[in-house]
Amino acid sequence: MSIFAIIATVLASVIAMEFVAWGAHKYIMHGFGWNWHRDHHEPHDKMLEKNDLYGIVGAVMSISMFAIGSPMIMGNSAWEPGTWIGLGILFYGIIYTLIHDGLVHQRYFKYVPKRGYAKRLVQAHKLHHATIGKEGGVSFGFVFARDPAKLKAELKVQRETGKAVVRDSVGAV
């Protein structure tokens, strides 16, 4: 593969992982996988959460792609793009860890952004946590965040239609 193809594959994989993560968050974590994700939505003082098991799932995806791309493991049937897709998944995992666990939930460092996209990410994810239970909700992505005012409006509709139980502390919702 050319260096351009390698870079494009890695970048495309990072971007694609946001869509994979959005779908997994909305339909798995807030669906049949709620048992692992529930403690992430509940107050606790533990260093680790069951929800962290989803990080292991992401690591298995990345390692699997590295293996598919490795001639040492796959021999002549190795598929080189697998290596670069695996690297993209790894990069997404690092980005997720820094943004979601670090910036938004402050598990690794304390920093509250006052403006810009970082503030928007934090606000959007706090609105995601505004619902009680797995039903309803907004902002299932981790790196791309929609306008918090639009998310608040969606939560208001969900509360009014009974699609979700929304915490009172969300303010004007």
Give tens-digit pLDDT for 64-100.
999 999 998 998 889 999 999 999 999 999 999 999 9
Number of folded domains in the chain? 2
Of 60, 90, 111, the one marking the end of a domain is 111
pLDDT at 170 > cutoff 60:
no
Instruction: Give the type of residue at 140.
Output: F
Is residue 33 located within the same domain as residue 96? yes
| pLDDT value at residue 44 | 85
Which band of pLDDT confidence, cut at 50, 70 and 90, is reported for residue 169? low
The whole domain housing 138 covers 115-173
Residue 43, classed as helix, strand or coil, is coil
Is residue 134 located within the same domain as residue 101? no
Of 63, 94, 111, the one marking the end of a domain is 111
Is residue 88 located within the same domain as residue 124? no
> Do residues 124 and 146 make contact, with C-beta atoms less than 8 angstroms apart?
yes
Is residue 1 located within the same domain as residue 85? yes
Give CA–CA dist 74/97, Å, rounded. Answer: 30
pLDDT at 27 > cutoff 50:
yes
Which band of pLDDT confidence, cut at 50, 70 and 90, is reported for residue 109? confident
pTM of the full predicted structure?
A: 0.90
Is residue 98 located within the same domain as residue 120? no
